[in-house]
Amino acid sequence: MRVKLLFLGTILPAVLVADLVTKSWALRALAFERGELFGGLVPLTLAFNKGAAFGISVGDDSRWLFVPITFLALALLGVLFKQAEDRDFLRIAAISLVVSGAIGNLYDRIRWDRGVVDFLGPVDLGFWYFPIFNVADIAITCGAIMLAVSFWLEERQEAARGRLAQTVTTGDKQVGETSSPTGAQQGEGSSSL
């Protein structure tokens, strides 16, 4: 459990501080003008997202829908965190990232009705504009991908263990069918004196 808490205790404050500092900066610096990163590759545009991820709208004041959903998600992530093996670093880091990002966006939803502060984007992908996002969104997305990979790897390991167990079981039956306890082949007669 100490390893898990070390991961969470490192990732959570790092993501929250980065998220809060960058959102605070965006509120000041981007209030009246846009900016850019990486020579214009990533535009900086202040936006307030009242909806779900990527600006999906679910009503005018949906924050009271998202606040309980976030608490429920945090509770489920807590269960996954507790169940994770101490050496499953990928899963522990993934859950820590998702929890950190969820708390970062939850803070915005609770503190005001303007919505979650987003400022990175929209990014022109050539065929679609990737919606405006923030540091918390990056943490949630990276954590969710890592969590999916973790579950996929676990499923592959379970399948491999199942195949191995089946092979061992099948092999044991073949050995038992072809030899007697004394090592003689079945079907061979033994002579008695």
124 is a catalytic site residue: no
Question: What mean pLDDT value characterizes the chain?
Answer: 86
From the candidates 19, 88, 118, 124, which is the catalytic residue? Answer: 118
Of 180 and 18, the structure prediction assigns the larger pLDDT to 18
Candidates 182, 83, 97, 85; CA nearest to 144 is: 97
pLDDT at 58: 67
pLDDT at 127: 92
pLDDT at 163: 85
Give the tens place of pLDDT for each residue, 43-52: 999 999 987 7
pLDDT at 193: 47
Helices of type H across the chain: 2-29, 63-83, 89-111, 135-178
Q: Which two tokens stand for residue 149?
A: 């990979």
Whether 53 has a pLDDT exceeding 70, the answer reads no
Q: Give the CA dihedral 155, 159, 164, 170, nearest 10 degrees.
A: 150
Q: Which long-range contacts (CB under 8 A, 24 or more apart) does 11-15 make?
A: 11/93, 11/96, 11/97, 11/100, 12/96, 12/99, 12/100, 12/103, 14/100, 15/97, 15/100, 15/101, 15/104, 15/135, 15/136, 15/139
In the chain, % of residues over pLDDT 90: 60
Of 164 and 17, the structure prediction assigns the larger pLDDT to 17
19 is a catalytic site residue: no
Who's near 66: CB < 8 A, 6+ residues apart? 52, 109
pLDDT at 117: 96
Burial class (CB in 10 A: 0-12, 13-18, 19+), 74: middle
Q: In this structure, are residues 122 and 132 in contact, taking their beta carbons and an 8 Å threshold? A: yes
Classify 137 as helix, strand or coil: helix
From the candidates 19, 61, 108, 137, which is the catalytic residue? Answer: 137
Q: In this structure, are residues 122 and 47 in contact, taking their beta carbons and an 8 Å threshold? A: no
